[in-house]
Structure 1
Amino acid sequence: MADKKDIVLYFSPHQDDELLTMGVDICKTCLLPNKEVHIVLCTDGSKSPARQRLNSNKICQIHHQIHNYNLSEEEFIKARDCEFIASCTAMGIPLENIHIYEKRAVDGSLSVEYAKEIIKHFVSIYGKDVEIRTIAPFRFGRYQHEDHYNLGLAAKALLKERFFKKSKFFIESYHYPKGKRKFVLSLFFNMQKEEISDEIRSKIERVIQQSYTCWKPEEKRYAIGYHCVTDIFEYYKNNIASYSIKSRLIK
């Protein structure tokens, strides 16, 4: 009988957060023979400004051509999901372990209580011994998307309630700490910067190309993630890193 693997459940608020915030850790964990990696997408990503840019009938500053694709909301969500699946599979997550939650929240409406319901649903399937990994619910004096913040708060609350025993929280790439803030987070929140090998760095670069910057409109690949947060993708490509905060409840 094969040894039982430890299950790691990543929860991503939107399509692209799994890469921009948790990508390094996902790539590393997928290489571990004793880990079974799953990921859950919690919202539909429908409110991204990229849809307006793709439908604007104006010249795109990225592709230097007019974008007028007239994508409906349903088509837009489907295209975003396609990028999400491409990202996850390129990082090493098996297709059967990629979960687009059937009752996911509308982008921008993910409450703490509903995020708890989503997490509880998957813990009920895979057991309380799973490790939950998601975005850190800390704003650090800066804006943090409500969906991100509430998902992190939900995971933190359920950990405190002992609904599961292990967790790991990640800081968004655009919130990477520096100077005094970095010292405070390291001292009081046990924040750690993960080591990244050249292999993982190269893999992340390939994932970016194969998913959120892929521009093939004839194949319904619209580089939505890149159109949405171009500056964040550019920053991340030049500053591939991973900052995390670990928590664990001991019996």
Structure 2
Amino acid sequence: MTNADQVVVFVSPHQDDETLAMGSAIRNHIEQGYDVHVLLATNGINSGARPIVGLTRTKFTDARDNELRRATATLGVPPENLHISRHSTEDGNLTIQAATDSIAWFLDRHPAAWVKAYSPHSATGRHADHVMSGVAAANLHAAGQITNLRHYVEPWLVDTFRAAHPAVRLGPERATSLATVQAAYDSYGDGYGIGHISVPTFFAAGRPDPVNYWHVP
């Protein structure tokens, strides 16, 4: 079996999470020849950027999805490997069950996929949707439905996470193609620039050195 035969899916709770906390890992896996996919779990409608850009709910979600498409394409993910879950919920309302349904839907099609998801461990400042998606992946792993799982932690919360969970060992991962990952960061400033409007400090802080932090179950 070659790397090209191995499916790897990155579970993104919101449009931009895949780039901010997993972008370097996504690009590195692509360069290593893996069949990389991205799975989106929510529609991103409740972003604080919506009243700023003044779009309707439908147009706002479409704009966010387009930013996701640009960013993942920049990282090198084939368009057909970007999946918007049929079980998608509004952001801020992602439940463990909805996240489980989304991941299980993908695994039904790719049962041997390696899964990359956010950490299931709570810490001050961590978005509930991030935690729920991580719990769902951890539960599927415990049930034997995921055989290879890696959890990611928000780079801007690494110190807080380590303080809350000192026994959890985090491994850093840097991009082998720094300019490509930085370009994915920049793509969230194109068009309506919703990503940069939503969390400008996260993009500004992470772009110069987009390190991803992960732990195993």
Q: Same fold (TM over 0.5)?
A: yes
Question: Is the 8 Å Cα contact of residues 116 and 149 (structure 2) preserved in structure 1?
Answer: yes
Q: How far did 1:180 drift?
A: 6.9
Q: Distance in 2 between matches of 1:4 and 1:77?
A: 32
Which AA in structure 2 matches 1:7? Answer: V
- In 1, Cα distance between the equivalents of 2:206 and 2:83? 25
Partner SS for 1:49 = coil
CA distance in 2, matches of 1:180, 1:203: 28
In structure 1, how many angstroms separate the alpha carbons of the residues matched to 2:150 and 2:162?
23
Counterparts of residues 78-227 of structure 1 (less than 5 Å): 78-127=62-111, 129-140=112-123, 142-177=124-159, 181=163, 185=166, 188-197=167-176, 200-209=177-186, 211-214=187-190, 221-227=191-197
- AA matched with 2:130: H
State the distance in 1 between where 2:155 and 2:3 align.
Answer: 35
Structure with bigger gyration radius: 1
Judged with a 3 Å threshold, the aligned counterparts in structure 2 of structure 1 residues 232 and 189 are, in CA distance, closer, same or farther, namely same
Number of residue pairs matched by the alignment: 217
**2:41 aligns to what?**
42
Secondary structure class of the residue paired with 2:180 = helix
Equivalents in 1 of 2:154, 2:131: separation in Å? 11
Structure 2: gaps of 5 or more residues: none
Matched ranges for 1:15-94 at <5 A: 15-33=15-33, 35-55=34-54, 71-94=55-78
Please list every run of 5 or more consecutive structure 1 residues that lacks an aligned counterpart in the other structure.
56-70, 215-220
CA distance in 2, matches of 1:179, 1:119: 24
Give the deviation of 1:2 after TM superposition. 8.3
Query: What's the secondary structure of 1:227's corresponding residue?
Result: helix
Q: Deviations over 1:187-237 (max 9, x none)?
A: x3232112443xx2211111122x2011xxxxxx20000001111111112
- Matched residue of 1:80: which SS? helix
Aligned amino acid, residue 152 of structure 1? G
SS at match of 2:84: strand
1:240 paired residue among 210, 214, 217: 210
Percent identity, please.
26
List structure 1 runs of 4+ shifted beyond 3 angstroms.
Answer: 1-4, 178-182
CA 179–171 in structure 1, closer or farther in 2 if over 3 Å, else same: closer
